[in-house]
Amino acid sequence: MTEIKRFYVQNGKKLPFPNTNISGLSGYNSITNQNCANQKRVFGEPPTFQNNGGLKAMGESLKRGMVLVLSLWDDH
């Protein structure tokens, strides 16, 4: 896997995910390894996702039957 694209559907209408508007992260509207690396750099966090194989490892896990579960939290 190299990219995750997100979108919303409301009342049968598909809405694109908006581009980020944060200094150093402008223009992203999907999840890529580059986007993840830049987020960690901008927010000063360790690159845990990349250190564990990034999107390639996640794609390999999904091929084996992993279920993707997302949880939204109030975080930067």
Residue pLDDT, tens place only, 40-55: 999 999 999 999 999 9
- Domain assignment of residue 38, yes or no: yes
User: When comparing pLDDT for 26 and 1, which is higher?
Assistant: 1
- Domain assignment of residue 31, yes or no: yes
Q: What is the DSSP letter of 15?
A: E
Q: pTM of the full predicted structure?
A: 0.70
Provide the percentage of residues in the chain whose pLDDT is more than 70. Answer: 97
Token pair, residue 23, equals 């200094």
- Domain assignment of residue 71, yes or no: no
* Number of structural domains in the chain: 1
Nearest alpha-carbon partner for 76 in 4, 22, 27, 16: 22
Which residues are CB-contacts of 36 (< 8 A; sequence separation ≥ 6)?
47, 49, 50, 54, 55
Which residues are CB-contacts of 47 (< 8 A; sequence separation ≥ 6)?
36, 37, 40
Residues spanned by the domain of 27: 3-63
- Domain assignment of residue 35, yes or no: yes
